Copies of this chain bind each other. A is one copy, B any other.
Amino acid sequence: MLTAICTACRSSRMGPLLRLALGCGLVFAATLASAAPAGDVLQQIRAFRAAHERVVLNELVHLLAIPNVARDRGNIRRNAEAIALMLRRLGLQPQLLEPAGAPDVPPLVYAQWKVPGAKRTLVLYAHYDGQPVNPAEWVTPPFTPTLRTAPLSEGGAIIALDSPKATDDQMRLYARGAGDDKAGVMVILSALEALRALHRDPTDNLIIAFEGEEEAGSPHLGQILRDHRALFDAQLWVICDGPVHPSGRVEITYGARGDMNADLTIYGAIRPLHSGHYGNWAPNPALRLARLLASMKDDRGHVTIPGWYDGIAPLGDRERRALAEAARYDGTIRRDLGLAAAESDWSLPQAVMLPSLNINGMRSANVGSEAANVIPATATAVLDMRLVVGNDPQKQFDKLRDYVRSQGYYVIDRDPTPQERLAHPLIATLKLRPGIYAAARMPMSDPFALAVAAGVRAAAGQPPLEMPSSGGSLPLSVIKEALGTPSMVVSIANYDDNQHAANENLRLGNLWNGIDIYAALLLHP
């Protein structure tokens, strides 16, 4: 990035002193930067970032054009190499870490920044892989980054990357990974670049860790950390992932829910049947799936599976106060999402502190113009189960499987044999997907975390909203289990970034603000 042509510095609006401070000249304003009080440093960070927005945007567009679904191993490696190149340009020595003996795994891109005299080490984490895509659902292709003047929902028009307005705050960059989480990768890289340019050392030794299969459930992260334990001697991880709070306030969270997914398939006849010749006599697996799923929640949106909410670790006073504060926004969020009412009688902050059960997707035969007059042969749902501290993933899955059995189903993990079909009126396959996270939470009163939060607070416009845990899932438990190190999360993406869905996007103002915040965080008191 440092070697990229800095067209911004050619701007006639910029004086010679600022040009020096930006590090584009041969002479560096080192003394100016190191002597400046906190407020001045923040101002310098902002000025550097503002002048480099076009470079950062171009780098991000370049990175987003490389497909990043974790199972697409060739492209995943291209992503890792592109990021390693950017670290090298910052003067760091990146490594691509893999688990011992598993060279085909998406590598963890790793680098260190040793700071003379620093007493503690901070790990900065983001992930460069993204959720799977169904290109048919995207307005523009997921790996053709497309800049728009506003969100699609507000009629945003495509605008050229070299337009004078291309870096304005309200612009939206559409691509898989734009918000989740190549924005995180770019924010960390750009904050490091700002410190380099201003000749400031971070407060702590830094370790940079960019994962390549977070959206696949981080199946190898634990092994990579254990295999390279000596490289990860640190006291705290800061995770740059997830959106800001819907109110626009930067969100600091001290934990994340765990997550696991399961595929549930219900079987009818051995082949799709004519719905006229067999309708109302041959079992319809779509209806059976509907009945089974419908029975899993009550009218208040509470999961009815026995023991679902057992064993949840209690919250402290500070955590409960944080939830109550965040609940103030429920009405605004609900209206913004076009919802007349919530599903459950919990507040949103309460709901995300509980284990969840959600249908991610459901399919049986075809709908729309491909629909035919059949009784489908199978019906499938993908279930998402979020976990909180106190939940054992396997035990939680066992509750689900036992529940399906209690509804009369013969539960297996492969297609039924002809004999099984004739022996069991109700047959289901239920398979846990690989990539299971447990939940993790650190105390909101941890001193290192409080210091980092103070850095965030200094740069954020509004005071950050602090939450005991994110509703989303991050590999915090994997890190905790492998290394014993706690993690906090500082999120910067726009909350309406369509993460995990089609037409994912990043609001550029969030990118710029995120760079300022992370640079300030690195210079925390």
**A→B interface (CB under 8 Å):** 71, 131-134, 153, 242-243, 257, 259, 261, 263, 268-284, 286-287, 289-291, 293-295, 297, 301, 303, 335, 337-344, 346-348, 351-352, 354, 356-376, 379-382, 384, 386, 418, 421-425, 470-473, 496, 498-502
Residues on B with beta carbons closer than 8 Å to the beta carbon of A418: 338
Q: Would you call A270 and B382 a contact (CB within 8 A)?
A: no
Q: List, in ascending order, chain B residues with CB within 8 A of A379's CB.
A: 362
Counted per complex, copies of this chain come to: 2
Name the distance in Å between A308's Cβ and chain B's nearest Cβ.
11
CB neighbours of A134 from chain B (8 A)? 366, 370
Chain B residue with Cβ nearest A301 = B280
**Can you list 8 A-B pairs, Cβ within 8 angstroms, ordered by A?**
A276-B384, A277-B472, A279-B358, A282-B337, A340-B421, A360-B372, A361-B367, A362-B364
Known A-B contacts: A277-B470, A290-B290, A290-B359. Give 19 more (CB < 8 A). Answer: A71-B369, A271-B496, A272-B502, A276-B384, A278-B337, A279-B356, A280-B343, A280-B352, A280-B354, A283-B339, A287-B358, A291-B294, A340-B421, A358-B375, A360-B375, A361-B371, A362-B362, A363-B368, A374-B501
Q: Is the CB of B367 within 8 A of A337?
A: no
Task: Say how far A67's CB is from chain B's closest CB, in angstroms.
Answer: 14
Are B365 and A361 interface neighbours, CB within 8 A?
A: yes
Query: Are B500 and A275 within 8 A (Cβ)?
Result: yes
Q: Chain B contacts of A376 at CB under 8 A? A: 359-362
Of all chain B residues, which has the CB nearest A417? B338
Chain B positions within 8 Å of A361 at CB level: 286, 364-367, 370-372, 374, 376
Cα(A27)–Cα(B479), bound, Å: 92
Q: Is the CB of B367 within 8 A of A365?
A: no
Min distance, Cβ A322 to any Cβ of chain B, angstroms:
16
Query: Which listed residue (B339, B354, B422) contacts A421, Cβ 8 A?
Result: B339
With A276-B386, A362-B365 in contact, is A338–B269 under 8 Å at CB?
yes
User: In the complex, which of the residues A367, A471, A499 has the most CB atoms of chain B within 10 Å of its own CB atom?
Assistant: A367
Which among A275, A289, A425, A470 has the highest number of chain B CB atoms within 10 Å? A275
Known: A277-B352, A286-B362, A359-B284. A271 touches B498 (CB 8 A): yes
> Bound complex: CA of A257 vs CA of B279, how far in Å?
11
Residue contact B373 to A384, C-beta cutoff 8 Å: yes
Query: Nearest Cβ distance between residue A33 and chain B, in whole angstroms?
Result: 38
Question: Is the CB–CB distance between A335 and B261 below 8 Å?
Answer: no
- Contacts A361-B371, A367-B380, A373-B360 given; does A269 touch B339 at CB 8 Å: yes
Q: What is the bound-complex CA distance between A478 and B358, given in angstroms?
A: 46
Contact A360 B352 (CB under 8 A): no
- Pairwise interchain contact B343-A284, C-beta atoms closer than 8 A: yes
Q: Is the pair A276, B471 in contact by a Cβ cutoff of 8 Å?
A: yes
**In the bound complex, do residue A500 and residue B360 qualify as a contact, i.e. CB atoms below 8 Å apart?**
no
A32 CB to closest chain B CB (Å) equals 42
Contact present for B362 and A279 (CB under 8 Å): no
Distance (whole angstroms) from the CB of A430 to the closest CB of chain B = 14
By beta carbon, the residue of chain B nearest A242 is B277
